[in-house]
Chains A and B, each alone.
Chain A
Amino acid sequence: MTKNLSNVNQIIAKYQGDQSALIQMLLEIQRENRWLPKPVLARLSQKLGIPISQIYHIATFYKAFSLIPQGRHTVSVCLGTACHVRGAPRLLDRVTDTLKLNPGETSVDYKFTLKTVNCLGCCALGPVMVVDGEYYGKPSAKEIEKVIANCD
């Protein structure tokens, strides 16, 4: 936790303590920690002079943020319109079966988090699954299993 707090200080310094950059700071904290720990938010509130209720308002409004720890590997399934008509619901069923997780859930060992997203902007590949930033278009059941199994 000490490391998290010192990282927060660095992030605040990077944005020169500018309150309007709060969302940008939270994005960096989320990326580094894979969630927004409460002590980190408290430190942010103290340093920036923003009520913690306001910070929680933002943290709970935007989908990019999580108030609980996320898995080391993020698996996202696109449910945009194009992917939807190309069979995204079935892809999601296969992914949930493979991971044994529902969208929004994290595995108990914090290895995987499953999310759904609305349009990644590569509709011609649809339906699309993204694992740790790698895109997979129209993955078969076997390919899904292989990709998941290869995550350490």
Chain B
Amino acid sequence: MDFDELAKVGSMMGSGGMIVMDEDDCMVDVARYFLTFLTEESCGKCIPCREGIRQMLTILNRICEGEGKEGDIVMLEELSEVVQDASLCALGTTAPNPVLSTIRYFKDEYEAHIRESRCPAGVCKALVSYYINPEQCQACQICLRECPVGAIMGGKNIVHVIDQDKCTKCGTCLDVCPIRFAAVEKLSGRPVPAAPPQGTKVRRVKKAQQ
């Protein structure tokens, strides 16, 4: 890892910050994160940086909200070129790097967001839904109690169901569902299956099967 080799692959040594991410991190969201930071930090003195980064962020926000459209990726690349070439300082000239490098290496994630309204990493809230699989749910009531907005219905021995209108997608239910049940799923790019009839009893799974 040296200055020149990193530059060849579209990265840079920079000051030396290194973050390792996995498949549960959305690269479009990461690009948006950096542009959000840079939009706030831009001093505003030169137009390419002040306006260019802001417009790129607007496009990325739309993509993460499920409102991306064909042509957005090309527009991001065009804006990046101007911002890189014409900004007054290195904040502006390097601002497009996260966008360009994520498009270069993770274009499929951008396309999934735009064409399928799907976030492969399950991060972008607008493209994600939480669903309790009635075949797995054992009605332990943990998620029901922990849900901060009371969006889960159910009871003792009654399959739990998430009210999608109330759900804020905080992910608490997924965090607290016992691993041996693994009843909570994060869905993206497909509709939430219809809820079972109210009062459906749980299907007891034998301990050996769990």
Q: Does A associate with B in a complex?
A: yes
What is the distance, in angstroms, from A16's C-beta to the closest C-beta of chain B?
A: 29
Note all chain B residues with C-beta closer than 8 A to A93. 170
A97 near B148 (CB under 8 angstroms)?
yes
The reply to whether the CB of A82 lies closer than 8 angstroms to some CB of chain B is yes
A85 to B33, CA, bound (A): 10
Q: Tell me the chain A residues, 67-102 only, with Cβ under 8 Å from chain B.
A: 79, 81-82, 84-85, 90, 93, 97
A9 to B95, CA, bound (A): 42
A90 near B19 (CB under 8 angstroms)?
no
The reply to whether the CB of B37 lies closer than 8 angstroms to some CB of chain A is yes
**A81 touches which of B19, B41, B170, B171 (Cβ 8 Å):** B19
Q: Tell me the chain B residues, 22-51 only, with Cβ under 8 Å from chain A.
A: 25, 30, 33-34, 37, 41, 43
With A90-B170, A90-B171, A93-B170: A81-B17 Cβ-Cβ less than 8 Å: yes
What is the distance, in angstroms, from A67's C-beta to the closest C-beta of chain B?
A: 18
B170 near A85 (CB under 8 angstroms)?
no
The reply to whether the CB of B90 lies closer than 8 angstroms to some CB of chain A is no
What is the distance, in angstroms, from A84's C-beta to the closest C-beta of chain B?
A: 5
Note all chain B residues with C-beta closer than 8 A to A10. none
Note all chain B residues with C-beta closer than 8 A to A61. 43
The reply to whether the CB of A46 lies closer than 8 angstroms to some CB of chain B is no
The reply to whether the CB of A33 lies closer than 8 angstroms to some CB of chain B is no
The reply to whether the CB of B1 lies closer than 8 angstroms to some CB of chain A is no
What is the distance, in angstroms, from B150's C-beta to the closest C-beta of chain A?
A: 13
B37 near A85 (CB under 8 angstroms)?
no
A115 to B171, CA, bound (A): 23
Interface of A is mostly: helix
Note all chain B residues with C-beta closer than 8 A to A90. 170-171
The reply to whether the CB of B21 lies closer than 8 angstroms to some CB of chain A is yes
A150 to B11, CA, bound (A): 45
A97 to B34, CA, bound (A): 25
Note all chain B residues with C-beta closer than 8 A to A6. none
Note all chain A residues with C-beta closer than 8 A to B33. 81, 84
The reply to whether the CB of A118 lies closer than 8 angstroms to some CB of chain B is yes
With both beta carbons as reference points, the residue of chain B lying nearest to A93 in the complex is identified as B170
What is the distance, in angstroms, from A131's C-beta to the closest C-beta of chain B?
A: 21
With both beta carbons as reference points, the residue of chain A lying nearest to B44 in the complex is identified as A61
A82 near B37 (CB under 8 angstroms)?
no
A81 to B15, CA, bound (A): 14
Q: List 16 A-B contacts (CB under 8 A).
A: A61-B43, A81-B17, A81-B19, A81-B33, A81-B34, A82-B19, A84-B33, A85-B19, A85-B21, A85-B30, A90-B170, A90-B171, A93-B170, A97-B148, A118-B37, A118-B41
Which chain B residues have a beta carbon within 8 Å of chain A's beta carbons?
17, 19, 21, 25, 30, 33-34, 37, 41, 43, 148, 170-171
Which chain A residues have a beta carbon within 8 Å of chain B's beta carbons?
61, 79, 81-82, 84-85, 90, 93, 97, 118
Give me 13 other A-B pairs in contact (C-beta within 8 A), A81-B19, A93-B170 excluded. A61-B43, A79-B37, A81-B17, A81-B33, A81-B34, A82-B19, A84-B33, A85-B21, A85-B25, A85-B30, A90-B171, A118-B37, A118-B41
